[in-house]
Structure 1
Amino acid sequence: MPTRYLFVFAQAHVDFRIPELVSIAELNGFAIIFPDIPEERDPTRPFMILGLEEDEHARILARRCILVKSIYQFYARGSSYEEMHERNRDVRSQWSQYIPDTSFKFVIDGYNRSITQSRQREIINSFSYMAMMGKIDMNNPQIILGCFEERAFHSRRTSKDPALLQVYFGRLIEEGSARSLIRRFDVKRREYFGNTSMEAEMSLLMANQTLASPGKLIYDPFVGTGSMVYTTAHFGAQVFGSDIDGRQMRGKDKQPGIIRAATQYGVASRIMDLCTFDVTNNPWRCGELFDAIVTDPPYGVRAGAKRLGRKKERQFLQRSTCPQPNDAPYIHPTKPYELSNLASDLVVLARYMLKPGGRLVFFLPTVTDEYDQLDIDSMLCEGMTVIANSLQDFGSWGRRLVTIRKTTTAKFSVPSFDADSIETGHVPAHKGFRDKFFQGFRKDAQDTAEAES
């Protein structure tokens, strides 16, 4: 029978918690038992009680999951301290082994209200019935017992204490250590970065969604300044990157910027190569190469997506036979790459390039008031299934981290990307996102733009 564990989460990116847990569990070959009651698996709450087969599984999650602060073996909970203590007495068999000679300490913490030191002492004294005979050791105890208050949200302007929702109690299994990586990969500390670099915490979450690990081969087709390269390589994967603009990958020094930053993180040996090409005119001539594709496609707010071609077609002009100055190479013109077309093309490319069971992980910006699940479903093709869809909310707009699994073993030909779009009868909220963003997502401006087009 699975053992129940109390998960304490960091208060960030609540919509990403469950997908991250499920991904790391899948990577390591074990299952997580989630509560049947929807309220108890609400990702917005800071605590969640989950079932695992053994303590080692809890340690694996705590060491890899970015959003986990700590994991405790769950003993008891209640809507009041009295109820929690009563239930803790009922499970005496789970903690009685530590009574005789185990050094210990208590950790008392609260959510939505800080707990004073005097109140912490009162709470610790309320556990006197456990009759722990071991030494109290605040520096290196053999076990740590944690008690947590969860209180309702309240305005700081009111003098009343927020209502107590639940009290949790358990024994520490593992402190979350992966969160320290956020500081290590902080963009401000990076050797090379640009104005489109992904923030460290989010790039780590994306890396976890790819199931990055030693022996995996992962590809970023819009690599830019390499934010996803460093984190996936940190977890042991070999990484390949490409971009239509080689200047972003190179930087201005002799050594490519991405390689400089990768050297800073000790993962330069895991960067297989960096190439400049347009994904719609790519050099790939065989598929099923990669275990995962991870990327943050450009969507026009800070840098617009481009593909080879001209903005306006022109009549054929006979090329001059005169030599170019200094025998300069021909630079192909580019044209804007509409986000809705890019997203659909990315899914088709992933189906061709991923191994069966591989994952495509990418961000998709959406307009909050217009978003519909059909926006994502309409971009799917045969053999590709959405397994996670997490929102980072910015108010009037947000970006969704979409994880799609290749569920087919069928072989597919090289995608052509000739058609600008496939008419499905549905206009996704991310179509024309750049224009909507700079118009402030005003409905009247969008209607005018649609009428003019």
Structure 2
Amino acid sequence: MGEFYLFAFAQAHEEFRIPELQSIAELHNFTIKFQSEVNVHRPFMILELESEEHARTLARRCILVKAVCEFYARGLSYEELHEQNRARLPKWGCYIPDTSFRFMVTAYNHSIPQARQRAVVEDFSYMGFLGKIDMKNPEVTMICYEEYRDKRGMTREKHEGDGEFEEAFFGRLIEEGSARSLIRKFDVKKRVYYGNTSMEAEISLLMANQTLASPGKLIYDPFIGTGSMAYTTAHFGAMVFGSDIDGRQMRGKANQPGIIRAAAQYGVAGRIVDLCTFDVTRNPWRCGELFDAIITDPPYGVRAGAKRLGRKPRPGKPADDLRSPETIMKNRPDDQPYIPPTKPYELSSLASDLVQLARYMLKPQGRLVFFLPTVTDEYEELDIQTMLCEGMEVVANSLQNFGSWGRRLITIRKATSERFPPPSFEVSSGELEASSLHVPAHKDFREKYFQGFKNSNFEQPVQDNH
């Protein structure tokens, strides 16, 4: 049987917490036991772990963890908390004789006046610590958390409602979450190269954790853009390969590619294996099972639309009338290179193709991690299930909610060692029939977004000419 640990979380991206914890536990080969009443929307969680070292590992790697404590007691009142804490004497009794210590009292959604902080600390006098009080560098820090209900949007005095907490928690501080400092390190505003679609630092780090990035792993981003996910996965030790249909996104305007310049800023330029320009549906891969993970934020048309090689439908012409470069060159009087035309890449097709590509390119147990925008009122679990293919299973599905729409961080695992042929990226008649039975909420997302999600029936999708 393991020990119980109290986790304090940053109150952001609540649905991402458990998938991140489970991913880091899987990466380091240990298990986490969750209590049945876990509520991810509360800032505190009590988990059962096999050792204190596992708790430290989570504090050092998980972006959303603020602190981890050895759990002693909890209560709706201090009377209940103290009763539990007295019963845990075997846990903290070893610190009584000669251990320097300090007590901290803090609150979530509230500011506790100093006078009551002192009173709360004095109520723990029965613990009888005989060591020296050291507020700067103690051997042991005991911490008490008070959780208050959310008061945002309410006008109130600073200490109004003091003491009227929902629940209090007490334990010995093991380690403060050190991974959160990476959010400042990878802040997009401080980056030497970024674009209007660059992913924010905190989300990039959360995505990197979902890939199980670590030294010795090779990770691929097929829509790398300005490289936001490349820097964070490389920071955790992985080697990164990136591609994009638009090489300008990767290069920028300077002589040295922008992604390489930014990677050098973070000290990970040596972990960028290469950057190539090609359409992911007409890729150069000649063998599969190359990558430990695929991570990407596919363009979905709000700030930049996805493209693939091909021509838009024209009267009397096939939609994909792509003539060979040789044919084009014969008709050109100059020696300029042939630039093939592109057409919009509809999001639901892109998502299904991405899963097919991942099944071919990933090693067994490899992960695909990507964002999928969706319409909140129309979303169904079936939306994700319909994009899966044989051998692929969903590990996590976490929502970042923006109101009428949101984006879901989807993690899919290759759960088979069977080898599959490379995807054709062409819709079969069977898939076409299946797609007519269920229309996912992310289909034609760009058009729904710009129409304000007022009309969910899109018989003729608007062409993305940008």
Same fold (TM over 0.5): yes
- Is 2:167 the counterpart of 1:157? no
- What does residue 187 of structure 2 align with? 186
- What does residue 16 of structure 1 align with? 16
Once the 2 structures are TM-superposed, how far is the Cα of residue 116 of structure 1 from its aligned partner? 1.0
- Is 2:57 the counterpart of 1:60? yes
In the aligned structure 2, how far is the partner of 1:145 from the partner of 1:319? 75
SS at match of 1:390: strand
- What does residue 459 of structure 2 align with? 450
Does structure 1 retain, via aligned residues, the 8 Å contact 2:447–2:461? no
In the aligned structure 1, how far is the partner of 2:267 from the partner of 2:333? 43
In the aligned structure 2, how far is the partner of 1:239 from the partner of 1:195? 22
Larger deviation, residues 222-231 vs 98-107:
98-107
- What does residue 49 of structure 1 align with? 46
Distance 1:353 1:131, change over 3 A: same
Q: Which amino acid aligns with 1:262?
A: A
Larger deviation, residues 20-29 vs 103-112:
103-112
Does structure 1 retain, via aligned residues, the 8 Å contact 2:219–2:294? yes
Larger deviation, residues 194-203 vs 93-102:
93-102
TM-score for both structures, normalised by structure 1:
0.96
Once the 2 structures are TM-superposed, how far is the Cα of residue 153 of structure 1 from its aligned partner? 2.6
Number of matched residues?
Answer: 446
- What does residue 440 of structure 1 align with? 452
- What does residue 386 of structure 1 align with? 394
Once the 2 structures are TM-superposed, how far is the Cα of residue 157 of structure 1 from its aligned partner? 2.9
Once the 2 structures are TM-superposed, how far is the Cα of residue 414 of structure 1 from its aligned partner? 1.3
- What does residue 126 of structure 2 align with? 129
SS at match of 1:416: coil
Does structure 1 retain, via aligned residues, the 8 Å contact 2:444–2:461? no
Distance 1:320 1:145, change over 3 A: closer
- Is 2:327 the counterpart of 1:331? no
Q: Which amino acid aligns with 2:106?
A: D
**Structure 1 residue aligned with 2:330, among 294, 316, 321?**
321
Segments of structure 1 that go 5 or more residues without pairing to the other structure are: none
**Structure 1 residue aligned with 2:78, among 81, 91, 94?**
81
SS at match of 1:144: strand
Once the 2 structures are TM-superposed, how far is the Cα of residue 451 of structure 1 from its aligned partner? 6.8
Percent identical: 68
In the aligned structure 1, how far is the partner of 2:332 from the partner of 2:145? 76
Distance 1:320 1:176, change over 3 A: closer
Once the 2 structures are TM-superposed, how far is the Cα of residue 152 of structure 1 from its aligned partner? 2.2
Q: Which runs of 4+ in 1 moved over 6 A?
A: 315-318
SS at match of 1:121: helix
SS at match of 1:335: strand
1:143-198: CA deviations, max 9, x gaps?
11000011223462367628422110000111100000000000000010000000
1:308-346: CA deviations, max 9, x gaps?
000125278985735442x10000000000000000000
- What does residue 427 of structure 1 align with? 439
In the aligned structure 1, how far is the partner of 2:331 from the partner of 2:107? 77
Residues 98-247 of structure 1 mapped to structure 2, 5 A cutoff:
98-154=95-151, 156-157=154-155, 161=161, 163-247=164-248
In the aligned structure 1, how far is the partner of 2:31 from the partner of 2:444? 40
Residues 268-287 of structure 1 mapped to structure 2, 5 A cutoff:
268-287=269-288
Q: Which amino acid aligns with 1:112?
A: N
1:54-85: CA deviations, max 9, x gaps?
11001100000000000000011111001101
TM-score for both structures, normalised by structure 2:
0.93
In the aligned structure 2, how far is the partner of 1:115 from the partner of 1:196? 41
In the aligned structure 2, how far is the partner of 1:362 from the partner of 1:353? 15
- Is 2:370 the counterpart of 1:362? yes
In the aligned structure 2, how far is the partner of 1:282 from the partner of 1:305? 15
> CA RMSD of the aligned region, Å?
1.6
Q: Which amino acid aligns with 2:104?
A: V
Once the 2 structures are TM-superposed, how far is the Cα of residue 419 of structure 1 from its aligned partner? 2.0
Q: Which amino acid aligns with 2:294?
A: I
Q: Which amino acid aligns with 1:219?
A: Y
SS at match of 1:450: coil
Q: Which amino acid aligns with 1:57?
A: H
Larger deviation, residues 113-122 vs 67-76:
113-122
Distance 1:320 1:127, change over 3 A: closer
Q: Which amino acid aligns with 2:227?
A: G
